[in-house]
Amino acid sequence: MKTNPASSSLETCRVAGQGEKALQQKTGTKPTQAPRQKVLVTGGGGYLGFSLGSSLAKRGTSVVLLDLRRPHWPLPPGTEFVQADVRDEEALYQAFQGVDCVFHVASYGMSGAEKLQKQQIESINVGGTRLVINVCVRRRVPRLVYTSTVNVTFGGKPIEQGNEDSVPYFPLDKHMDHYSRTKAIADQLTLMANGTPLLGGGTLRTCVLRPPGIYGPEEQRHLPRVASHIKKRLFMFRFGDRRTRMNWVHVQNLVQAHMLAAEALTMAKGYVASGQAYYVNDGESVNLFEWMAPLFEKLGYSQPWIQVPTSCVYLTAAVMEYLHLALRPICTIPPLLTRSEVLSVAVTHTFQIAKARAQLGYAPDKFSFADAVERYVQATTPQRRGFTMLTLLRLLLLLLLLLSLLGLALYFLGLQPLQGAVQLL
Ligand SMILES: NC(=O)c1ccc[n+]([C@@H]2O[C@H](COP(=O)([O-])OP(=O)(O)OC[C@H]3O[C@@H](n4cnc5c(N)ncnc54)[C@H](O)[C@@H]3O)[C@@H](O)[C@H]2O)c1
């Protein structure tokens, strides 16, 4: 993985707890060498969490990766894996011992079928965050960085070059998916916890980072899913205006932002990030279908060429969501797309990173999506296929399915999903 030259060293960011400082004054002792810093990353088995933990460990920090599941990758030196649930307070209490900074990265329900598991999403994203905050206070962890998302302010209405002051939280009751709603609650809980006194002395300082979609080598969530849809010829369709824009962030840029945010919660940096939110992205706005062009190219498939009205795609997504829920007791049919995913593609939502640049010193490196695709294609067996009769048959079947789903939608759902579609027209 490419190293990040722009990220500054975390060795300088250890903040002695107030009790520790008092002890030094009392005894008149001065530490000759700063003790090794220890941080904990929840969701440390996931893509961002593991990349962050590995980068921190490379800089000499002792890292605890806490996750329900083991990382796919071998643990690098300086890291320790703790298998635990962020909803298990006792497990968190054990794991947070001696930790200086918690990066709360774990979350659930971001994409695909997970998106519809409401209870699970709520208990992990909201309940888990509450416990993480409580245990920081009980364990005297002075810094907490929360990985939020742009979805806390984006709910399907256009946002162009929004910033932390210009765009308010999207109303909680209007969010189209539970993931975004619960991330918004967790984002606010984290910011509200800023300034909480720690048990036994000191103050908890918190901040939140709001990234858009994450990409990079070996990314597991978006790229393989989209690639599999492309290989099944489901991405012959495109929708949305060609002028629609969104941001992306390379994992290493996001790692850089997390490290800088942790540093900016220290006295050395005047606690500048204390209680602050930051949008973080690569500093570029792109159209999704143009941005994904290298993926089609490298997989050997043609670009999506059939333009479908967004309202049709939205309706189909609504039907697929309802079907998924209705059939759940019998079988699992993961929705190809959810309504909020359709809106993410079809509605412009771009954000400035000026605040992160100015306050954190964030300076995104230039990365290309094509490189991530190259790595993905090398790791999988590319299968180039021609436009055969079988493909044509599949396409016809798909069109038939879309039409039947539309019919079903009109029949069963009445006007509710139609209203959303009409707004899009
Ligand atoms: N991937 C994106 O495009 C994207 C975009 C915006 C924001 N984010 C945010 O970035 C963070 C990391 O995303 P990622 O792409 O690395 O996701 P990921 O799914 O790879 O990682 C999340 C990790 O959280 C773990 N987890 C889930 N429930 C848990 C629980 N109860 N206890 C402990 N661990 C649990 C999962 O096992 C997983 O390893 C998340 O907070 C996400 O909301 C991601």
Q: 255 C-alpha vs ligand 1 centroid, how far in Å?
A: 14
Ligand 1 atom at shortest distance from the alpha carbon of 48: 16
Q: 363 C-alpha vs ligand 1 centroid, how far in Å?
A: 24
Known catalytic residues are: 179
Tens of pLDDT, residue by residue over 53-100, are 999 999 999 999 999 999 999 999 999 999 999 999 999 999 999 999
**What local confidence, expressed as pLDDT, does residue 333 receive?**
76
Residues with Cβ within 8 Å of residue 220, at least 6 apart in sequence: 47, 72
List, chain by chain if needed, residues with CB within 6 Å of any ligand 1 atom.
42-43, 45-49, 67-69, 85-87, 105-108, 110, 124, 128, 147, 149, 183, 211, 213-214, 221
**What is the predicted ipTM?**
0.99
Q: 242 C-alpha vs ligand 1 centroid, how far in Å?
A: 30
CA distances in angstroms from 35 to 11, 55, 62, 206, 295, listed in the order given: 10, 19, 11, 22, 46
**What local confidence, expressed as pLDDT, does residue 3 receive?**
35
Ligand 1 atom at shortest distance from the alpha carbon of 45: 39
Q: 285 C-alpha vs ligand 1 centroid, how far in Å?
A: 23
The identity of residue 83, as a single letter, is: Q
Q: 401 C-alpha vs ligand 1 centroid, how far in Å?
A: 33
Q: Report residue 325: phi and psi, to 5°.
A: -70, -45
In testing the pocket of ligand 1, which one of 66, 82, 108 has its CB within 8 Å of the most ligand atoms? 108
Ligand 1 atom at shortest distance from the alpha carbon of 211: 6
**How do beta strands 205-210 and 213-215 pair?**
unpaired
Per-residue pLDDT of the chain (425 residues), as tens digits, is 333 323 332 222 332 233 333 334 433 334 444 556 999 999 999 999 999 999 999 999 999 999 999 999 999 999 999 999 999 999 999 999 999 999 999 999 998 778 878 999 999 999 999 999 999 999 999 999 999 999 999 999 999 999 999 999 999 999 989 999 999 999 999 999 999 999 999 999 999 999 999 999 999 888 988 888 888 887 788 899 999 999 999 999 999 999 999 999 999 999 999 999 999 999 999 999 999 999 999 888 988 888 999 999 999 989 888 888 888 888 877 778 888 889 999 999 999 999 999 999 999 999 999 888 888 888 875 555 555 666 677 777 778 778 777 777 777 666 554 454 445 44
Nearest CA to ligand 1 atom 32: 85
* The model's pTM: 0.84
The first and second tokens of residue 125, run together, are: 């994203």
**What local confidence, expressed as pLDDT, does residue 335 receive?**
78
